[in-house]
């Protein structure tokens, strides 16, 4: 992260192998990462001098991650990303009382987690960079090498043009594109396209986003907005 002080991240995870891969990904990304295996130790550590962000496993041997977060919130407002092994826990994580900023379901890609950390730190710094051209929309992870996209930690099963269309929108959040513009940018080498081609792909993308947002954010489909007479945009 050039031009920025190295962010300090506290990783609270009792499984050493998982902790190691997270620490490695964060350090490779230029962040300072520390590790605690217990909730009590993590709170002590945060009282001594808060980290910029906490990655917190829900299932810890002493306190639950929820308890740790609740106590942490009484003296510190550093962003918290939960690690959870169970989809049933997501409703509680996104629930108002806990105060989490994001969550990742195990198994997850450490690189993706590092990308989430960076996105949250950017947001926490109040930068408007989250909507800048070329930046990714919140909640999405774009693995350009693997040509795949994840929404809220879940990889989407996309056809080639669904992927290209969503990748374009994710890279330009908040900007409205007409159907003609999208066809030019996304379907540049396709022969048989019509206005309906874009609409059909938006429809299937919305269905897949809705599917990927179970419980956590039922409005996933609403991320792609229709602007009457103008076209589509992706909500930043
Ligand atoms: Ca655990």
Residue 19 has a pLDDT of 97
Pair (19, 103) in one structural domain = yes
What is the per-residue pLDDT across 145-175, written as a single tens digit (0 to 9) for each? 788 899 888 889 998 889 999 998 998 888 8
Q: How far is the CA of 13 from the centre of ligand 1 (A)?
A: 6
Please tell me the predicted confidence (pLDDT) of residue 41.
Answer: 97
Q: For residue 26, is it within any domain?
A: yes
* Structural domain span for residue 207: 133-234
Residue that has been written with the tokens 């942490």 in this structure: 72
Q: Are residues 50 and 105 in the same domain?
A: yes
Cα(71) to centroid(ligand 1), Å: 19
Q: How much distance in Å is there from the Cα of 65 to the middle of ligand 1?
A: 9
**Chain-centre distance for alpha carbon 205:** 18
Q: What is the overall mean pLDDT for the chain?
A: 83
CATH number for the domain that contains residue 157: 1.10.10.10
Give the Å distance between the CA of 119 and the centre of ligand 1. 24
Q: How far is CA 3 from CA 7, 28, 121, in A?
A: 12, 17, 14
Is a pLDDT exceeding 90 seen at residue 144?
no
Residue 1 lies in a domain: no
Residues 148 and 90 both lie in one domain: no
- The domain tally of the chain equals 2
pLDDT, tens only, 173-231? 888 888 888 887 788 766 666 778 899 999 999 999 988 886 655 578 889 999 887 88
Q: What is the pLDDT of residues 125-140, one digit of tens each?
A: 764 333 333 456 788 8
CA separation for the pair 219, 222 (Å, rounded) = 5
Domain annotation covers residue 59: yes
Residue 7 has pLDDT above 90, yes or no: yes
Domain boundary among 124, 144, 176: 124
Q: Considering the domain boundaries, does residue 3 fall inside one?
A: no
Shared domain check, 110 and 87: yes
Q: Is pTM, for the whole model, over 0.75?
A: no
148 φ, ψ (degrees, to nearest 5): -145, 160
Residue among 61, 230, 190, 236 nearest 222 (CA)? 236
Quick check: 7 and 31 in contact, CB under 8 A? yes
24 & 66 share domain: yes
Assign 221 to helix, strand or coil. Answer: helix
Residue 64 lies in a domain: yes
Could you write out the DSSP letters of every residue in 27-50? Answer: HHTT-EEEEESSHHHHHHHHHHS-
């Amino acid at each position: 992260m050039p031009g920025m002080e190295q962010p300090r991240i506290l990783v609270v995870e009792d499984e050493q192998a998982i902790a190691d891969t997270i620490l490695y990904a964060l350090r490779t990304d230029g962040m300072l990462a520390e590790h605690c295996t217990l909730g009590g130790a993590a709170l002590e550590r945060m009282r001594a001098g808060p980290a910029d962000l906490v990655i917190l496993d829900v299932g810890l041997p002493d306190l639950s991650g929820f308890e740790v977060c609740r106590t942490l919130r009484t003296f510190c407002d550093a962003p918290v990303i939960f690690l959870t092994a169970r989809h049933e826990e997501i409703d509680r994580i996104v629930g108002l009382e806990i105060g989490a900023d994001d969550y990742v379901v195990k198994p997850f890609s450490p690189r993706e987690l590092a990308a989430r950390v960076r996105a949250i730190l950017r947001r926490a710094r109040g930068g408007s960079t989250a909507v800048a051209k070329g930046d990714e929309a919140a909640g999405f992870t774009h693995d350009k090498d693997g040509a795949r996209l994840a929404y809220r930690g879940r990889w989407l099963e996309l056809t080639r043009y669904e992927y290209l269309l969503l990748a374009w929108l994710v890279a330009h959040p908040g900007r409205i594109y007409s159907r003609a513009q999208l066809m030019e940018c996304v379907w540049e080498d396709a022969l048989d396209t019509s206005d309906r081609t874009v609409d059909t792909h938006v429809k299937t993308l919305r269905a897949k986003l809705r599917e990927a947002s179970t419980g956590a954010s039922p409005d996933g489909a609403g991320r792609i907005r229709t602007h009457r007479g103008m076209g589509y945009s992706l909500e930043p």
